């Protein structure tokens, strides 16, 4: 229930940050202004005794986040991939949130599995281990199927996780409404819509049947991608709160020392992570939207193995083309075209000046090119981008939230593997290939063919549709059908025939 009672949750959040020492550490790591430090501590200090104590064996920020619950842990996972924003030391501390959370008892997992699969654990598995990885929402056990002897990974939701997320999301909704009320300027960012989007994503992650379907689709899409793999789903041993996949050996992407010791080439792994993400987003419109280090492994043969498919992103074809043109414009330093694409897509209000917007984009893009990635401050870059979007009245695009967030996460992972990666140079071949295949004569021919196919499907109904149009117009005008109405109906029929013919002709010409 969204209401003022959520003030209590927000007070305890600030109190927990203060009590654990996380407030000071976080402010120091992000080099926060002195005024902000004073205000935050002044508001939180009187309530510090209300804060959660957390695990005193953990560093302050990690201690606070784990004490606050799963929604906060998700946020911490993202920050763990951004050493340029929160600092190397804090980013390393936060990596514990990815796959090394405190596990819940094995017996609780067994109870869930038996209830979901409606069979004793001994009939399902000949071996069932203690937890091998524990994250914010679920944990994983290694098991051996009783009937085939095949090793599998069994993912089980945490007991009571649904209620815990509901509490946090309610508080987030209340926070968003307060922000919108006291800061009208924030409304263009649509905080409430952002939380609603996050809520939808979380609900999908809490149903492992949906995650199994996502894993299956993702595996089919990427089956031919060299150097990348997705474990197969075992549908017979999967349900709403249990998911079973084939077992995959490998080194977690955060264990850089082990990756180096195993002889893997970091300079090739970093670019591959970024290129695979872009390929899946642009080519398939279906991408892994939670690609932090804990969800990636490096297999013995050097393949990158993706895990945890609870959060997947989807982009329609039009949005993919817009996104590709924007990236391509940055790569080519054609800021005028980047600006035009923003206006054409409706991302920027039409009454703004396109040339001025292009100059603002140049100030964002030019400093990046030719620069070693380790010298780029993503914090300063994001800060400037926010100023640009505010000045030009851009609205938050909810359909791009996951894409934007994942791009930040993936860049952080790629940089952790290859500190000298240049995101633009690595992105260039993927984006150019997409542009070549999807923007131009070939794309036009495919679009027209699809249009002709749809029209052909309705071909037998065109006369009926035309007659219905005439009748509707006659009734609306409360007068007999005019000759002009007959011409409109005739154009409806003729338009369908011409479009179908034109589509076929373009296919023949351009192949």
Q: Which residues contact 162 (CB under 8 A, 6 or more apart)?
A: 206
The CA distance from 251 to 256, in Å, is 9
Residues in the chain: 511
Do residues 393 and 401 touch, judged by C-beta distance below 8 A? no
Say if residue 474 is exposed, middle or buried (CB neighbours under 10 Å; 0-12, 13-18, 19+).
middle
CA distances from 475 to 305, 440, 462, 479 (A): 62, 44, 20, 7
DSSP result, 388-439: HHHHTTPPP-GGGHHHHHHHHHHHHHHHHH-TT--HHHHHHHHHHHHHHHHS
- Catalytic residue list contains 290: yes
Closest CA to 70 of 97, 106, 44, 94: 97
Catalytic residue among 84, 99, 170, 290: 290
Tokens 């964002």 locate to: 364
| Rounded Cα–Cα distance for residues 472 and 483 (Å) | 15
Could you tell me if 137 and 157 are in contact, meaning their C-beta atoms sit under 8 angstroms apart?
A: yes
Q: Exposed, middle or buried: residue 429 (CB in 10 Å: 0-12, 13-18, 19+)?
A: middle
Compute CA distances 476 → 371, 470, 482, whole Å: 64, 10, 12
* 127 phi, psi to nearest 5 deg: -140, 140
Output the six-digit token pair for 403: 């894409």
Please list the active-site residues. Answer: 290
């Amino acid at each position: 229930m969204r209401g003022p009672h959520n003030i209590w949750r927000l007070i305890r959040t600030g109190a927990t940050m203060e009590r654990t020492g996380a407030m000071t550490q976080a402010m120091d790591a992000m080099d926060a202004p002195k005024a902000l430090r004073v205000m935050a501590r002044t508001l939180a200090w009187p309530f510090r005794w209300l804060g959660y104590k957390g695990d005193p064996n953990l560093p302050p920020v990690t201690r606070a986040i784990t004490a606050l619950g799963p929604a906060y842990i998700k946020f911490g996972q993202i920050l763990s991939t951004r050493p340029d924003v929160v600092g190397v030391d804090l980013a390393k501390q936060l990596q514990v949130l990815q796959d090394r959370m405190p596990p819940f008892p094995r017996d609780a997992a067994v109870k869930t599995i038996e209830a979901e699969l409606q069979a004793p654990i001994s009939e399902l598995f000949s071996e069932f281990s203690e937890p091998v990885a524990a994250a914010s929402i679920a944990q994983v056990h290694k098991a051996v199927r009783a009937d085939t002897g095949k090793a599998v990974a069994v993912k089980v939701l945490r007991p009571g996780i649904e209620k815990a997320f509901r509490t946090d999301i309610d508080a987030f909704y209340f926070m968003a409404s307060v922000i919108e009320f006291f800061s009208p300027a924030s409304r263009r960012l649509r905080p409430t819509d952002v939380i609603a989007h996050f809520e939808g994503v979380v609900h999908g992650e809490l149903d492992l049947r949906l995650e199994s379907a996502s894993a299956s689709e993702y595996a089919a899409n990427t089956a031919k991608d060299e150097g990348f793999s997705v474990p197969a789903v075992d549908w017979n041993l999967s349900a709403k709160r249990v998911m079973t996949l084939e077992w995959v050996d490998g080194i977690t992407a955060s264990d850089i020392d082990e990756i180096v010791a195993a002889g893997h080439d970091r300079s090739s792994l970093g670019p591959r992570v970024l290129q695979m993400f872009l390929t899946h987003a642009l080519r398939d419109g279906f991408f892994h939207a939670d690609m932090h280090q804990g969800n990636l492994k490096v297999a013995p043969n050097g393949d990158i193995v993706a895990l945890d498919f609870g959060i997947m992103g989807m982009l329609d074809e039009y949005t993919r083309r817009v996104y590709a043109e924007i990236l391509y414009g940055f790569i080519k330093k054609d800021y005028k075209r980047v600006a035009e694409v923003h206006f054409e897509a409706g991302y920027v209000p039409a009454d703004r000046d396109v040339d001025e917007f292009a100059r603002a984009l140049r100030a964002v893009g030019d400093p990046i090119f030719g620069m070693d990635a380790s010298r780029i401050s993503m914090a300063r870059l994001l800060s400037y981008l926010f100023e640009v979007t505010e000045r030009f009245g851009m609205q938050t695009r909810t359909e791009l939230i996951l894409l934007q967030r994942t791009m930040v996460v993936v860049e952080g992972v790629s940089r952790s593997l290859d500190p000298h990666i240049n995101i633009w140079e690595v992105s260039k071949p993927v984006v150019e290939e997409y542009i070549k295949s999807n923007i131009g004569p070939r794309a036009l021919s495919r679009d027209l063919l699809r249009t002709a196919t749809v029209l052909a499907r309705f071909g037998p109904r065109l006369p009926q549709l035309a007659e219905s149009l005439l009748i509707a117009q006659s009734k609306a005008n409360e007068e007999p059908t005019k000759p002009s109405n007959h011409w409109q109906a005739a154009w409806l029929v003729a338009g369908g025939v011409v479009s179908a013919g034109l589509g076929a002709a373009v296919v023949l010409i351009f192949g």
